[in-house]
Amino acid sequence: IQYTTEQALRRAVEGSGAKSGHSIVVDPETGEILAMAVVPLYNPNVFREHQPFHWRNRAVTDSYEPGSTVKAFLLAAALDSGLVSPESKFFCEKGEYKVGRNTIRDHDRKGYGFLSVDEIITYSSNIGAVKIGERIGYKRFTEYMKRFGFGEKTGIEIPGEIEGFVRPSEEAKEIDKATAYFGQGMTANSLQLAMAMAAIANGGKLMRPYLVKEIREPGGKVVEKTEPRMVRKVLSAEAARQSTKVLENVVGETGTGFPAAISGYRVAGKTGTAQKVDPTTRRYSDKNYIAIFVGF
C-alpha cells in the first residue's frame, strides 16, 4: 500500500505540475496508518541532495487552509445538531453575498438560486456553506471542529506535528466566521483531515492514528501491541450515515469530486481548492493554490 501510494502521488504531482504533495491511507475503524507519502521523496542516505524542507514529514509538520474540504464537517455538524436535513433549502444569492463590507462569491460565475444542503455540498457553494453556518452558529461550528480534532495534535508517534488553528468565537469578526465555513482563516495538517474524514466513515468515532501495529522478538513473539483507541465520539451514527450519503453525491457525475469515482465501488469524499497567501502582498493569491481531496 505504501509503494502504491508513493507511485500514485508522484504521478498526481507530476501530472498537475504541482510543487509537492501529501497522501495518507488510514484504516478508519482502527486509526492504523497504512501509508503516508510525501513528494518530493526524501532519501536519508543522500540527505545532502535534498533541501532542508524535504527532511521533515510534511503530512504532519505543515499546515494549510483546508478550503472546501471543511464543508464535509460543516455538513456533519449541521446534520448532527438537527438544525438541517439534506433536503433543507437555502437561497444562494445568485453568486454574491454581502457580509459587512465584504462580498462572498461562488466559483460558478453564474451563481445559484435555491439549493438543498445536498446540492450545496455537491456543487461546493461557498455562499450555501455560509448560510448553513449561519443556521448552526459559529460557536457550535467551532465546537464540532474541535471534536473532529482540528486545532489539536492527533498524538501520532512522529515528532514535529503541528496542531493547526481554529479561531475562537470571541476573537472572530463576522467575515472571519463566514469564511471559516468554507475553510479559510483556519489551518490543518493532512493527517488531521484524514482522521476527521475517517470519523464520518466509521460512524462518528475520532480514532487516534498510529504507525506501529506491533513489535516482535526475533523468534516471533509479540512484545508490544498497539490497541485501537477512540479519542471521542464526534457524531451520531445516523448523522455520519446521512453525511456519507451526501458525500457520495460529491463523487457523482454532477459533483466536484467526480474524477475520484471508482467503477464498482461506492466512493464518498470532498474536494477543496485553497488559495495560498502571497508572502509579498499578504493577500490571497489568484495564481497559487493547494488542491485537496479527502474521501473513502
Which residues participate in catalysis according to the annotation?
A: 68
Sign of CA dihedral 69, 243, 230, 260: negative
Q: How far apart are CA 275 and CA 77, in angstroms?
A: 24
Tally the C-alpha atoms within 13 A of residue 265's C-alpha that lie toward its C-beta. Answer: 10
Output b/e per residue, 244-264; b: 16+ Cβ within 10 A. Answer: bebbbbbbeeebbbeebbeee
Question: Which among 230, 201, 150 has a CA at the least distance from the CA of 28?
Answer: 201
Are 74 and 174 in contact by the 8 Å Cβ rule? The answer is no
SS3 state at 288: strand
Give the CA dihedral 182, 184, 187, 191, nearest 10 degrees.
30
